[in-house]
C-alpha cells in the first residue's frame, strides 16, 4: 500500500452516508421484503459515483465505494454466506445498561435503521455460497475509482460477525470463529485479487470488551482477543500483509465510553495481526491521549498507522489546525512521517439509516482532514509536498 513518502496522505475508514431511497431499499430488503433488483442496482451505481466524486473533491487520496451496496458493515454477510436466520438478541453495551436515558435517546434517534442488535444468528453451518456481490462491488470500484491514488475495500473480521450475529449452532465460540474465518476468506481474497487494498473491519478487538465480553475480566478478554486475531490471520492467509489494513475502534457512537478498554492493554495483540497498517480511533475524546501507548510499545517497523483525526459521531467540523496537530502527534508517536496516513475514527454510514453526521457535513469534515494534512505536511517536510 502507498506510504506518505512526500506528504501526509488522507483516507477514511470506509462507510459513507447513503441517499435515503437507497437506505430505505436496503433496510426493507434486510427485513425480508421484495425489492426490485434492477432499481436497487441503479441506486447503488448512482450513489457510488456520487460518493466517489465527493471524496475526490474533498481531497481523499485513498478512497473507496462508501459501502453503498451494503446495509451494514458486517450484517451484510448473509448475501454471500448461508447458515443465518432468526434474530441474535445481541447483549447491550454497559453504556446502555448504566445510562438508560442515553439508550432511549439513541433508539429514538434511529427508528428506521438497519438491524444492529437483532441481526440474524448462525443457525446452521456457515458457508460461502455467493461471490457475485463482492465481485460486482470490486469491479464497480475499479471502474469508478481511477481518480484515487489508491483504492481500498472493506470486509468484516470473523470476530465482529461472531459477536454481532450470534452462534446458535457451533459447539464453541472458537469453532464459530474458525468457520467464519474460512468462509470470509473468500471475500478477502476476492478484494485482493481485484487489485484493491483489503481493509478488515474489526471493532470487536476493542468495542466488545464492554459488550459481548462484558462479563469477563480484562485478562480473560485478552485471551479472547488472541483467538479473534488468530481468526483474522487464518482468513487472510496467503495475502501479502502490505496489502491489508486493520481497523480497530471502541464503537461508532456518541455514548459515554467510560468502560472502554485501554489501547495499551490491547496493542500487543493488535501487533500479532499479519497486516501492514492499523487504523485506530484517536479523535474520540476518550482516546485522544492514547498516542502515549505507541511510545511505550512502538509500532512494528512493517506497519503503517492510520490515526483517526476526525470524530465520526459529531457534526462539529474539526479545524484544520486541530487535524494538523493530531497528525503531528501521530508522527511523533510513530517516529516516521512516511508511515502515517490521516484517517477517521470510524465510518460515517456504518449502518443504513444510522448516521450521526449529516451528509453535507461529512464532505466538509473530510476536506478539513485534507487541509489539516497539507498544513502538517508543510511543517513535517518544510514544504507543501507533491
Mean pLDDT value across residues 247-254: 94
The tens digit of pLDDT for each residue in 305-336 reads 999 999 999 999 999 999 999 999 999 999 99
For position 127, which CATH number holds? 3.20.20.210
The per-residue DSSP string of 176-230 comes to HHHHHHHHHHHHHHHHHHTTPEEEEE-GGGTGGGGTTTTTS-HHHHHHHHHHHHH
Report whether pLDDT(300) > 90: yes
With respect to residue 337, please indicate whether it lies within any of the assigned structural domains.
Answer: yes
What is the average pLDDT value for the chain, to the nearest integer? 95
Backbone conformation region of residue 311, classed left if phi is above 0, alpha if psi is from -120 to 50, else beta: beta
For the residues 341-361, what does the mean pLDDT come to? Answer: 95
Contact 343, 293 (CB under 8 A): no
With respect to residue 231, please indicate whether it lies within any of the assigned structural domains.
yes
Continuous segment of H or E residues that includes residue 47: helix 37-58
- The total number of structural domains in the chain stands at 1
Minimum mean pLDDT among 94-103, 262-271, 304-313: which range? 94-103
Q: What is the mean pLDDT of residues 123-144?
A: 97
Residue 386 lies in a domain: no
Beta bridge partners of residue 280, listed in sequence order? 248, 307
Q: Is 203 left (phi over 0), alpha (psi -120 to 50) or beta?
A: alpha
Residues 148, 55 contacting (CB under 8 angstroms): yes
What mean pLDDT is predicted for residues 375-381?
98
Residue 82 in grid coordinates:
448461508
When pLDDT is cut at 50, 70 and 90, the band that residue 92 belongs to is: confident
Confidence of residue 114 (pLDDT cuts 50, 70, 90): low
Predicted local distance difference test score (pLDDT) of residue 107: 81
Asked, for residue 2, whether it belongs to a domain, the answer is no
Predicted local distance difference test score (pLDDT) of residue 99: 92
Q: How far apart are CA 113 and CA 98, in angstroms?
A: 23
pLDDT tens column, 225-236: 999 999 999 999
Indicate whether 365 belongs to any domain: yes
Give CA–CA dist 257/90, Å, rounded: 18
pLDDT band at 113 (very low <50, low <70, confident <90, very high): low
User: Cell for 234?
Assistant: 487464518
Cell of 34: 421484495
The mean-pLDDT minimum among 94-103, 161-170, 329-338, 364-373 falls in 94-103
Render pLDDT for 178-199 as a digit per residue (tens, 0 to 9). 999 999 999 999 999 999 999 9
Task: Say what the pLDDT of residue 93 is.
Answer: 86
| C-alpha–C-alpha distance, residues 195 and 148, integer Å | 13
How much is the pLDDT for 385? 46
- Contact between 202 and 160 under an 8 Å Cβ cutoff? The reply is yes
In a domain, 154, yes or no: yes
1 lies in some domain: no
**The CA-based dihedral angle spanning residues 234, 120, 175, 209, taken in that order and rounded to the nearest 10 degrees:** 80
Query: Does residue 52 belong to any structural domain of this protein?
Result: yes
Q: What is the pLDDT of residue 109?
A: 83
Q: What is the mean pLDDT of residues 108-123?
A: 81
In the predicted structure, residue 383 carries a pLDDT above the cut 80 = no
For residue 299, pLDDT beyond 70: yes
Structural domain harbouring 375: 9-381
Asked if residue 42 has pLDDT above 90, the reply is: yes
pLDDT band for position 386 (cuts 50, 70, 90)? very low
pLDDT at 49 over 70: yes
Average pLDDT value for residue range 64-86: 95
Q: Of 31-35, 54-58, 155-159, 381-385, which range is least confident?
A: 381-385
The answer to whether residue 12 scores a pLDDT higher than 70 is: yes
Asked whether 208 and 157 are in contact (CB, 8 A), the reply is: no
Q: Where are the alpha helices (DSSP H) in 66-197?
A: 94-98, 100-109, 132-144, 158-164, 173-193
pLDDT at 162: 97
Place of cell 512494528: 300
Look at residue 118 in the predicted model and tell me its pLDDT.
83
Locus of grid cell 458486517: 74
Amino acid at each position: 500500500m502507498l506510504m506518505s513518502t512526500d506528504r501526509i496522505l488522507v483516507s477514511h475508514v470506509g462507510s459513507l452516508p447513503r441517499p435515503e431511497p437507497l437506505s430505505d431499499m436496503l433496510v426493507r430488503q434486510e427485513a425480508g421484503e421484495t425489492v426490485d433488483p434492477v432499481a436497487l442496482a441503479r441506486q447503488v451505481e448512482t450513489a457510488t459515483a456520487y460518493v466517489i466524486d465527493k471524496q475526490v473533491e474533498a481531497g481523499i487520496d485513498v478512497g473507496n465505494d462508501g459501502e453503498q451496496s451494503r446495509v451494514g458493515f458486517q450484517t451484510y454477510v448473509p448475501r454471500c454466506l448461508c447458515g443465518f436466520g432468526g434474530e441474535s438478541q445481541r447483549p447491550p453495551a454497559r453504556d446502555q445498561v448504566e445510562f438508560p436515558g442515553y439508550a432511549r435517546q439513541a433508539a429514538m434517534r434511529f427508528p428506521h435503521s438497519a438491524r444492529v442488535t437483532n441481526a440474524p444468528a448462525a443457525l446452521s453451518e456457515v458457508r460461502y455460497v455467493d461471490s457475485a456481490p463482492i465481485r460486482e462491488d470490486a469491479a464497480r470500484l475499479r471502474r469508478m475509482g481511477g481518480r484515487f491514488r489508491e483504492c481500498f475495500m472493506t470486509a468484516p473480521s470473523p470476530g465482529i460477525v461472531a459477536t454481532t450475529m450470534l452462534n446458535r449452532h457451533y459447539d464453541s465460540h472458537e469453532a464459530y470463529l474458525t468457520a467464519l474465518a474460512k468462509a470470509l476468506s473468500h471475500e478477502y481474497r476476492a478484494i485482493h485479487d481485484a487489485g484493491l487494498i483489503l481493509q478488515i473491519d474489526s471493532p470487536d478487538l476493542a468495542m466488545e470488551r464492554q459488550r459481548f465480553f462484558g462479563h469477563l475480566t480484562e485478562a480473560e478478554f485478552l485471551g479472547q482477543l488472541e483467538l479473534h486475531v488468530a481468526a483474522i490471520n487464518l482468513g487472510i492467509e496467503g495475502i501479502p500483509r502490505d496489502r491489508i489494513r486493520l481497523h480497530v475502534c471502541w464503537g461508532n457512537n456518541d455514548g459515554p465510553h467510560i468502560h472502554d478498554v485501554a489501547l495499551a492493554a490491547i496493542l500487543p495483540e493488535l501487533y500479532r495481526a499479519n497486516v501492514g497498517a492499523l487504523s485506530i480511533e484517536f479523535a474520540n475524546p476518550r482516546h485522544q491521549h492514547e498516542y502515549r501507548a505507541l511510545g511505550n510499545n512502538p509500532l512494528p517497523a512493517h506497519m503503517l498507522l492510520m490515526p483517526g483525526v476526525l470524530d465520526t459521531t459529531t457534526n462539529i467540523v474539526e479545524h484544520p489546525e486541530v487535524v494538523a496537530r493530531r497528525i503531528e502527534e501521530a508522527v511523533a508517536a510513530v517516529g516516521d512521517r512516511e508511515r502515517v496516513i490521516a484517517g477517521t475514527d470510524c465510518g460515517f454510514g456504518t449502518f443504513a439509516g444510522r448516521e450521526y453526521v449529516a451528509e453535507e457535513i461529512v464532505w466538509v469534515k473530510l476536506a478539513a482532514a485534507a487541509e489539516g494534512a497539507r498544513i502538517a505536511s508543510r511543517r513535517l517536510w518544510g514544504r507543501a509536498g507533491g
